[in-house]
Structure 1
Amino acid sequence: MSTNEINNQPTKWRIYLVYFLAFVLFSVAAGRLFYLTVLDKEFLKNQGEIRAVRTESIPATRGMILDRNGEPLAVSTPTWTVIADPRSLWALDTVPAGALDPTKERKTAKQEIARLAEVMGVGRAWLEERFETNRNKGFMYLKRQIPPHEAQAILEAGVVGVSKIKEYKRFYPAGEVAAQVVGFTNIDDKGQEGIELAYDKALQGKPGKLSYVKDLKGNIISVLGQEVPERAGENIELSIDMRLQYLAYRELKAAVTEQRATSASAVILDVRTGEILAMVNQPSYNPNDRSDLEYDQLRNRAVIDLFEPGSTMKPFSVTAAMRSGQYTTESIIDTSPGYIRFGRYTIRDLGNYGKINLEKLLVKSSNVATSKIALSLPQDTIWNMFYELGIGTPVGIGFPGEATGVLPMHPKWHPSEIATLSYGYGLSVSTLQLAQAYMVLANGGYKVPVTIFKQDLPPDGEQVVPANIAHDVVGMLQQVVAQGAKKAQIPGYNVAGKTGTVHKVGASGYQYDQYVSLFAGVVPATDPRLAMVVMVNDPKGQEYYGGEVSAPVFSRVMEGALTVLNIPPDRPEGLREVRLETKTPYRIVQGN
């Protein structure tokens, strides 16, 4: 073997090694290509889809909130929201000139942002900062829930990565009239207050999914199909009757304005079904425009605010006394000399009424007579009566923030505590709780659950007061209106009710220049159908008594409600000619 052959031997070996390695690499690549294109072709498909296919969430329509007659209280309207893909926009700075379209001049991200800011009518620096903050994100809101023409104007600018999506915006046809009951949603369509919050899950529905292919600019090239259809939220039908709601709201607002009161609330109940037909509050707000909203306006005062009910509780103390068997309608109580002392504490009447029966007790609203009755009964008699009527326990309508109220229970009662409890001091209730108690009396002592939802059939309840006693007490309350609270009277109808004027509690005790004015009543008294409580907080006008401030509101509202609901008069001889205004809200106007 020659020297050259010996020297060439390693060279040939290296060449063969290179050929072999090249063959191995080619085989691996070919095998991988065969595997991906034939055996596992879904991989390449998925990779392509990752870069070009997008899945968009399709918003579901939120369920409507309706009144008992099908009138909408909350509806969702479609709107457009303009969005951006910051990552695609900033990618313009990395694309060589002419790579996308050789005939067009290269665009930079900042140039596009400047053009977009001009179209949107916002500051360039502010918009550029937002894009910079979200530089690595594929999604950013630009303008949410705007009219179609405004969204179209932004899209026509053709800015890279800018597109639109459909969203829904909540609209409240009743505005401030039902604001605290219905509540509202935020910009993401999530319930924040009222029924919108309490039943947010049922109202929301379930969004769908839609797949599509888009280009570098974010434009949709083709829709691949709807993967999951959206499911609309459930509609909720309330027991509220908007005809009565408008009427009660108008009269309550007028009273608050006239009396320069701090706040007020009113509730109307159907005594047979427990349905809330109207629930209004002052002050209120417009849920369609919350730019000047104050937190205090959000309160559904009818279920949240508490107050001492005062003399409006005396009918229930009388009821407890009659149920005990120790008292009847003929029982006589001696109130002389017009006051009763407990050590340094003195309970007084407005005068010395002498010997009076239970009816006169309610007509004169005697604190002394009520106290003497309570002290003559076993200690827990009055407490048990109040508790069974729902005082001190939640009504249970499922409303956010519903107050429990306060019904104190003492291991050992002081006589003054029993006495003050009997005429409505030392405890606290909401307007709704007080209305529930009067509803029980009006329904023959039969207590049905109070509800905010429309009922097809009367619900089951329980007899908490014997029917004959409930009937007798309502008859006494009829005389209270006939002889005393005359501003609660309604032409053609017998009205049963009780006034209450309560000193407010302040930092240093009871404030003798601040009051809560109350009237609670039922109509028609001979066959009750409706119960209503009107509470006016801190009236600053010339009048502050419940019979002067709240009773007229009750009369005007109920006069219209009885006509709207076509409830026939039970005292035709007292009916004067009336006419019905043609425009809602409905109201009876007395003729000359």
Structure 2
Amino acid sequence: MKARIIIIFLFFSTVWLLVLSRAFYIQVWPNEKLAQLQERKYQTRIKLNSQRGSFLDKDKREIAMSQISYSIYADPKLVKSPKATARQLSKILGVSYESIFSKIKDKNRRFVWLQRFIDDHKFARVKDAELEGISSVQEWKRVYPFENLYKGIVGLVGQEGAGLEGLELKYDKAISGDSEKINVKRDARGRPLNIDGMIVTENQMGNDLVMTIDTDLQFYFETQLKETMQTFEGEGAIGIVLDAATSEVRAMVSLGNSGKHDLVLKQKAITDVFEPGSTLKPFVMALGLEENLIQANSKIFCEYGKMKVADRWIKESDSHHQFAYLSPSEILAFSSNIGIAKVGFQLGTDKLREGLLKFGFGQKTLVDFPGESKGVLHETPWNSHLLANISFGQGISVNALQLTNSFAALVNGGMLNRPTLVKGRRNTETLDYTELERAEPTRVISKKTSDLLKVMLSSVTHEGGTGVNARVPGFLIGGKTGTAQKASSKYRGYEPNAYLSSFIGFIPVHEPRYVIYVMVDTPKKSFYGSQVAAPVFAKVASFLARKEGMVPNLISDKNLVAGFDKTRKPSSKPKVDTTGFTPETKMLSLRDVLKSSHATDDLEFVGRGSKVELMESEDAETGAKKVKVYLKAN
């Protein structure tokens, strides 16, 4: 009997020991499987957006920022009356009854979003309604204070807080904070254990990014392009302003058919390509000068306005242009197709293609923006007709930023930079600012060639030149008009009666600070770049001059470069320069300099004014001539 009692006692003691051991194991010892089961049963996991850093313009004004918002969600299992709840929420949230009811009628679902990022007024009404199974969460919403002004550049983010377009996509990692997934706890009956029906979380913020864009300039440029599109009934427009020395983008506007932005879908200045037309001619001229195939005082026979190449005829764009001999400056001023084609023939296909590649054509600029197109620069060999066409901007395609950036290298002393939209980052907590690392510029032409091109391009904007409407009172500017046929997107060839009217220029001539590009797509009332785009350049350049406090040089056009007479008769022989200068000084005009024997020397421009003074010297070691051109006031 006693033995039985002992055996029973030991048996139950063993059982209890096993039960206690198991309880200890379950309660204390970690068990991944049980933890997962507990999490599924007693918690709901949702992802909350982090607070993204802001995008700031160059003056540190916020153009994209995050602000607190509220999102409404439901646990359908806890909604007692789905129909009544759906009707009430429909009135508060402004969402259809059917949409809400379809989300909350399924009792097997435990979490569903009803509406994200509602305003304070809607949130207060939902909270006051005290609807069972309906809760809210506080998260960050992306807002754009300037609305559409920057959408083509900054882009947008999705509901989950990730960048989808533009700079929001390009710099998504740099500007994002740490997104957080939080667990919404439930009680034994599966009900969320929220405090006052709201979840609040604080995440690590992302960095602020400081852009190169000037908001005032961006707005002014957009306004001018809209007015021009309306006046000439254009189908679109692009405008770009670059810092000539660094290629920082100061403004970039892209307008569509309605005159509004192509809302964040694409930035046409970077993604779309087109034939540049006559705006490519200065690059061909620069390459001819760089290779010493032509000189500033050369004369090129322009065939009286008509030249046969292979089995085709090349003509001037203006039927009144029937010149015999033109200088390089006059070829640019009159936008001579035949004159520039002859420069292209002297270069040949290999040198021309190699030179255009050095300027960045046919390849991406690597600007900090997604979706850039590289354009088209065909592989050699080229036939003679294609060589001529490319020389005056046909048979080659570029994007607007690519063209503007290459033009900056043409006039800034010959240095090609990588264009940038974001200049630096700012820590959101310490406000410490750090400049982003910039790529080193590369030299594409000599400073001498660049200086010559600047003076030549200034002749385009004087009387008789095609860019006279681009002039800015009180300032000497240079540039080039472009009137390119619009390539068809449906078939080979060009669209009938469709042109891209453009002007690209810089201000001021001797120390360029800004390069400005204007292009209007398919204007109906007029299509010449000199009539459509050049006046916009003048307005934007004038605005920049005032805003930046540039000092007017008060140069008279006729004192600097003599006007060209459109009605002059073609000469049968080239004019031979007989002007010679002694080492002592002599007061001249810039046109005299470019027509003299000194145009082949190493020229260096110093100062400002309407008259020039030459100081000739000779290198003792090489014997090469070096001439300083001192600009003096009247």
TM bin (shorter chain): 0.7 to 0.9
Q: 2:487 maps to which residue?
A: 505
Q: 1:115–1:64: structure 2 CA closer, same or farther, 3 Å change rule?
A: closer
Report the TM-score when normalising by structure 1.
0.82
2:61 pairs with 1:75: no
Could you tell me how far 1:26 is from its partner in structure 2?
4.6
Q: 1:566 aligns with which of 549, 552, 555?
A: 549
Partner amino acid, structure 2, of 1:302: A
Deviation string, structure 1 residues 392-431 (Cα, Å, up to 9, x no partner): 1111113121110111122x32111111111111101111
Q: 2:325 aligns with which of 318, 337, 355?
A: 355
8 A Cα contact 2:67 2:143, kept in partner: yes
2:102 pairs with 1:129: yes
Partner amino acid, structure 2, of 1:438: F
Instruction: State how far apart, in whole Å, the 2-side matches of 1:471 and 1:185 are.
Output: 45
Deviation string, structure 1 residues 248-276 (Cα, Å, up to 9, x no partner): 11111111111111111011100111101
Instruction: State how far apart, in whole Å, the 2-side matches of 1:496 and 1:141 are.
Output: 58
8 A Cα contact 2:152 2:262, kept in partner: no
2:368 pairs with 1:404: no
8 A Cα contact 1:63 1:203, kept in partner: yes
Instruction: State how far apart, in whole Å, the 1-side matches of 2:549 and 2:533 are.
Output: 24
Q: 2:305 maps to which residue?
A: 338
Instruction: State how far apart, in whole Å, the 2-side matches of 1:478 and 1:76 are.
Output: 47
Instruction: State how far apart, in whole Å, the 2-side matches of 1:335 and 1:46 are.
Output: 84
Instruction: State how far apart, in whole Å, the 1-side matches of 2:175 and 2:497 are.
Output: 46
Spell out the pairing of 1:487-526 with structure 2 (5 A cutoff). Answer: 487-506=469-488, 507=491, 509-526=493-510
Deviation string, structure 1 residues 514-560 (Cα, Å, up to 9, x no partner): 1110101011012111001111110011x210000000010001110
Spell out the pairing of 1:61-100 with structure 2 (5 A cutoff). Answer: 61-89=51-79
Q: 2:19 aligns with which of 26, 29, 34?
A: 29
Q: 1:34–1:434: structure 2 CA closer, same or farther, 3 Å change rule?
A: closer
Spell out the pairing of 1:165-204 with structure 2 (5 A cutoff). Answer: 165-204=137-176
Instruction: State how far apart, in whole Å, the 2-side matches of 1:498 and 1:274 are.
Output: 19
8 A Cα contact 1:162 1:218, kept in partner: no
Q: Could you say what the CA RMSD is over the residues aligned between the two structures, in angstroms?
A: 3.5
2:212 pairs with 1:254: no
Partner amino acid, structure 2, of 1:348: K
Instruction: State how far apart, in whole Å, the 2-side matches of 1:369 and 1:34 are.
Output: 95
Partner amino acid, structure 2, of 1:560: F
Could you tell me how far 1:29 is from its partner in structure 2?
3.1
Moved more, 256-265 or 564-573: 564-573
8 A Cα contact 2:310 2:384, kept in partner: no
Instruction: State how far apart, in whole Å, the 2-side matches of 1:274 and 1:294 are.
Output: 23
8 A Cα contact 1:213 1:221, kept in partner: no
Instruction: State how far apart, in whole Å, the 2-side matches of 1:436 and 1:375 are.
Output: 26
Unpaired stretches in structure 2, ≥5 consecutive residues: 425-434, 558-634
Spell out the pairing of 1:274-423 with structure 2 (5 A cutoff). Answer: 274-283=247-256, 298-349=265-316, 350=319, 351-410=321-380, 412-423=381-392
Q: 1:179–1:284: structure 2 CA closer, same or farther, 3 Å change rule?
A: farther
Q: 1:87–1:390: structure 2 CA closer, same or farther, 3 Å change rule?
A: same
Q: Which structure would you say has the larger Rg?
A: 1
Q: 1:98 maps to which residue?
A: none
Q: 1:461 aligns with which of 426, 441, 460?
A: 441
Deviation string, structure 1 residues 209-236 (Cα, Å, up to 9, x no partner): 666755554242599x99x962111211
Partner amino acid, structure 1, of 2:440: D
Could you tell me how far 1:511 is from its partner in structure 2?
3.6
2:128 pairs with 1:146: no
Q: 1:6 maps to which residue?
A: none
2:188 pairs with 1:218: no
Partner amino acid, structure 1, of 2:459: Q
8 A Cα contact 1:487 1:552, kept in partner: yes
2:203 pairs with 1:230: yes
Instruction: State how far apart, in whole Å, the 2-side matches of 1:428 and 1:536 are.
Output: 16
Q: 1:486 aligns with which of 458, 468, 472?
A: 468
Instruction: State how far apart, in whole Å, the 2-side matches of 1:285 and 1:197 are.
Output: 26
**Percent of pairs identical after alignment?**
28
Q: 1:474 aligns with which of 454, 471, 493?
A: 454
**SS of equivalent residue, structure 2 residue 163:** coil
Could you tell me how far 1:567 is from its partner in structure 2?
2.3
Partner amino acid, structure 1, of 2:350: D
Could you tell me how far 1:186 is from its partner in structure 2?
2.1
Instruction: State how far apart, in whole Å, the 2-side matches of 1:480 and 1:40 are.
Output: 82
8 A Cα contact 2:483 2:528, kept in partner: yes
Unpaired stretches in structure 1, ≥5 consecutive residues: 1-8, 90-106, 287-292, 575-592
Deviation string, structure 1 residues 46-86 (Cα, Å, up to 9, x no partner): 98887656666553201111111111111111110111122
Could you tell me how far 1:14 is from its partner in structure 2?
12
8 A Cα contact 2:256 2:262, kept in partner: no
Could you tell me how far 1:145 is from its partner in structure 2?
0.8
Deviation string, structure 1 residues 178-236 (Cα, Å, up to 9, x no partner): 2211111122222221111222222221024666755554242599x99x962111211
Partner amino acid, structure 2, of 1:78: I
Partner amino acid, structure 2, of 1:555: A
Partner amino acid, structure 1, of 2:475: Y
Instruction: State how far apart, in whole Å, the 1-side matches of 2:342 and 2:272 are.
Output: 31
**SS of equivalent residue, structure 1 residue 268:** strand
8 A Cα contact 1:442 1:474, kept in partner: yes
Moved more, 443-452 or 507-516: 507-516
8 A Cα contact 1:448 1:460, kept in partner: yes
**SS of equivalent residue, structure 2 residue 64:** strand
Question: Matched residue pairs, number?
Answer: 536
Could you tell me how far 1:123 is from its partner in structure 2?
5.5
Q: 1:24–1:253: structure 2 CA closer, same or farther, 3 Å change rule?
A: same
Deviation string, structure 1 residues 291-331 (Cα, Å, up to 9, x no partner): xx997872211111111111111111111111111210111
Could you tell me how far 1:381 is from its partner in structure 2?
2.0
Partner amino acid, structure 2, of 1:566: G
Q: 2:524 aligns with which of 529, 534, 540?
A: 540
8 A Cα contact 1:264 1:301, kept in partner: no
Moved more, 547-556 or 109-118: 109-118
Deviation string, structure 1 residues 421-469 (Cα, Å, up to 9, x no partner): 1111110111111111210122111222211122769863122111111
Instruction: State how far apart, in whole Å, the 1-side matches of 2:288 and 2:300 are.
Output: 12
Partner amino acid, structure 2, of 1:220: N
Q: 2:590 maps to which residue?
A: none
